[in-house]
Structure 1
């Protein structure tokens, strides 16, 4: 009785250990990459290989990483899986559906490759992945260098290095140097722009001061004109009030003319208008 219980406990512990191992392995496998199915299986095989799992376990782990759209592409296998080699059948179908054809890969290699913000070595790896060893390194090198800046191509043209990986390393260093120089030039231009902005700001301040002085000068001139006008008016009034003129009028007749009701002598109004 004791031996039977021990055997049962051992089997249960083994099953628990196997289940825990499957959970750990599953957490390390990413969701299926529709755009890179072969690379996804390379990584998945690297994770599953050391575990020595059964075909059924590997099959189930892969199914757990498939999204809805992918499931629809393998629904016949999932609903009626083969008796043996389930994992291989699922892998073959996923590669068949999602891996680009050689023609499509060659089209991308010819017309859709750009350096962009990548390093030259990163671009080369992508191109080699599309070429799949079907294009000689000499041809691939020419195609790859065609996407590089002229300054980088000029350096590669005079080097004796032929190995593509070594050429890519050289191209990376040249690009890093070029970008450092560009950053320095941008900083220098920025500094120059800042100096120009400061000069323009000082000129603007001077213009404001000049405008302010011109405004004050104009105001001062207007004050002088008004003062002179008032002085002239007072002088005229003083001349009018001088009684030594023959046609001098008193303040009433000077202001109201024939409507004046008073008169202060001497006043020439009555004398000049006696005949009217």
Structure 2
């Protein structure tokens, strides 16, 4: 039975290891939280946890902990390895604050996703009011306008409102895509409706301008062809002489109408 137990333990270890991602250099603290969520229920030994963490380190990371790997302590191997990795790769408080203040941007993510990242960097080191100001300054003006009339100061509620406003701003969606039932007859909902009306007006104006520009370009091309024929056709006649011949009372240069081309009067 002993070999069966060892084989079962080996398979169990492989299954546990497969549920743990490779070490995250940019978020070591979060990585350990996820890793320990897998390891703790298994009641694994210190040695087993230590070996699993080593298996998840890249060569670049291993270079930072070679002294521990070569001469590990007799006890507390896992905790010592964990402390070293956090010490090396976890950003300092000053670095996190600098990143929070000067390096964040919305990009392609939702406002709520940006909020979560900024909350993680803040970690209680800045007030809620300051965090909201920093976050709102990174949002488009239309979203800031809606948030400005909101009576709520909750980070989660404001992030949810910002997400809905952003959805209503996309070209393929309208204000009906916003879950108005969650906003009710609130200033936020009224302002979203007004923004959508303005967006519709702008889209109509843009369509009208595009149509007008197309017609202008078409007329320009026609004039260009007309002028091109003038320069290269030695027998070109202006529209007056072309249509009325000798009865024309007007002429457009460079018309090639010649007196010899006048029609002879009818003979009696």
**TM-score, scaled to structure 1:** 0.68
Among 140, 143, 146, the residue aligned to 2:134: 143
Q: Hey, what's the Cα distance between the residues in 1 that align with 2:65 and 2:203?
A: 54
Larger Rg: 1
Q: Between 130-139 and 69-78, report the one with greater CA deviation.
A: 130-139
> May I ask how many residue pairs the two structures share in their alignment?
218
Partner residue in 1 for 2:28: 37
Within a 5 Å distance, the mapping from 1:209-220 to structure 2 comes to 211-212=228-229, 215-216=232-233, 218=235
Within a 5 Å distance, the mapping from 1:220-239 to structure 2 comes to none
User: For each residue in 1:50-76, what CA deviation from the matched residue of structure 2 results, as whole angstroms up to 9, or x when unmatched?
Assistant: 322221111111101111111111111
Task: For residue 18 of structure 1, give the secondary structure of its aligned residue in structure 2.
Answer: helix
**Long gaps (5+) in structure 1:** 1-9, 229-276
**Long gaps (5+) in structure 2:** 172-195, 238-254, 262-268
Among 96, 99, 109, the residue aligned to 1:108: 99
- 1:170–1:204 CA distance, 2 compared to 1 (3 A): same
Partner residue in 2 for 1:129: 120
Q: Between 146-155 and 105-114, report the one with greater CA deviation.
A: 146-155
- 1:106–1:216 CA distance, 2 compared to 1 (3 A): closer
Matched, 1:93 2:93: no
Partner residue in 2 for 1:20: 11
Task: For residue 63 of structure 2, give the secondary structure of its aligned residue in structure 1.
Answer: helix
Matched, 1:65 2:82: no
Partner residue in 1 for 2:244: none
Q: Hey, what's the Cα distance between the residues in 1 that align with 2:41 and 2:111?
A: 35
Q: Hey, what's the Cα distance between the residues in 1 that align with 2:23 and 2:204?
A: 45
- 1:111–1:216 CA distance, 2 compared to 1 (3 A): closer
Matched, 1:197 2:188: no
Paired residues of 2:230 and 2:236 also in contact (CA < 8 A): no
Partner residue in 2 for 1:208: 225
